[in-house]
Amino acid sequence: MPRYRVVLIPGDGVGPEIMVFAEKLLSGIDSIELVRVEAGLAYYKETGQPYPSEFEELVLSADAVIKGPLATPSRGGYRSITLQLRRLLGIYADIRRFETENTHLVIVRESSEGIYSGVEGVFGDVAVALKIVTRRAARRIARTGFEQAKRLGYKRVIAVHKATVLRATDGLFLEEFYNTARNYPGVEATDLLVDSAAYHIVKNPSGLGVLVALNQYGDILSDIAAAIAGSIGLFASAQLGERGALFEPIHGTGMDIAGKGIANPVSALRATQYLLEYLGQEHGDQELLVIAEALSESIEKVIWGKRMTTPDLGGNHSTREVGEAILSELATRVPRLRP
């Protein structure tokens, strides 16, 4: 009988094209009950609603949620479904692993507050945005960064900040980072100004380790890291929350290439890998951990071993060809799967 309920949202744009491989894989695991939920711009145009009435109930009852990119109307309609999901699940950490044949870097982004708290206003000719940093959130994201370093085998954790200018907010974050570091004597703890961190990501990303950053810094540095590591189509995020976890590719909807069959499916399969790792670790399920490791190895074999890539990486293979090649490779490593 299934032990875990996973909600899958295909998304908009290239979402359905790449998430089909996540759906095939998860549907082939006996311990997972997969619940497909339509939501987003295409669903809105069809029904007049951004998602079905039972959407929130399904999300909160799930052991994990995985989704493709979701579009938000530029005028009217509805607010960002992705932001609603993050608030619903109480997401506080966005973990992005930029691990390729030449790059090994992890960015752990605080995602519950900072300058993205949404507290802003216009007063006459002055616009003001409030940057919020609490000790609780700073301590929590620092702990997440050190725990990720231990789990993934990194020896250094770096706090990214601008405390030289923002002494109160970034200063508090930095203080809590070093307070937390005392609990991890086997891991080197240091810090970098955000502009210096951007420089080092470009020059020598693998020399960094795990970066722990406030919301806006992590957002910007993640896209720089993706470009340096190869393509944004290779990477996904694992988002941890107080009421659940969310997994997704880090790129947008790609409306300009939707339907052309050239989107990179690796981001969706990496999101699936991280979901399986999360469930495996949370529940002590070795089978899911084995599948996650085999999936990672299969991606590496197809992309870097066979050099079978989509156009974003300079190849001429289609979304379907790359996705099916990875699932076929996975089936040789874990024959009991039915993807």
Tens-digit pLDDT profile for residues 316-329:
999 999 999 999 99
Q: Is residue 8 part of a domain?
A: yes
Q: Are 119 and 130 a contacting pair, CB within 8 Å?
A: yes
Q: What are phi and psi of 2, to 5 degrees?
A: -60, 140
- For the record, the structure tokens of 197 come out as 């961190």
Instruction: Give the domain extent around 10.
Output: 1-91+233-339
Q: Is residue 58 part of a domain?
A: yes
Residue 146 maps to which CATH number? Answer: 3.40.718.10
State the pLDDT at residue 273.
Answer: 98
Does residue 1 register a pLDDT over 80? no
Does residue 337 register a pLDDT over 90? no
Q: Are 311 and 262 a contacting pair, CB within 8 Å?
A: yes
Q: Is residue 331 part of a domain?
A: yes
Residues 113 and 224 in one domain: yes
Residues 166 and 271 in one domain: no
Q: Give dist(CA 287, CA 265) in Å, integer.
A: 24
Residues 313 and 331 in one domain: yes
Q: Specify the number of domains making up the chain.
A: 2
Among 174, 203, 229, give the residue marking a domain's end.
Answer: 229
Tens-digit pLDDT profile for residues 127-179:
999 999 999 999 999 999 999 999 999 999 999 999 999 999 999 999 999 99
Q: Return the bridge partners of 98, or none.
A: 105
Among 229, 264, 289, give the residue marking a domain's end.
Answer: 229
Q: Is residue 171 part of a domain?
A: yes
Q: Is residue 11 part of a domain?
A: yes
Tens-digit pLDDT profile for residues 55-64:
999 999 999 9
Residues 86 and 111 in one domain: no
Among 200, 229, 258, give the residue marking a domain's end.
Answer: 229
The residue with tokens 């708290």 is: 117
Beta strand 4-9 with 32-36 is parallel
Q: Is residue 96 part of a domain?
A: no
DSSP codes of every residue in 7-56: EEE--STTHHHHHHHHHHHHHT-TTEEEEE---SHHHHHHHSSSS-TTHH
Tens-digit pLDDT profile for residues 296-322:
999 999 999 999 999 999 999 999 999
Residues 109 and 54 in one domain: no
Residues 19 and 85 in one domain: yes
pTM of the model: 0.95
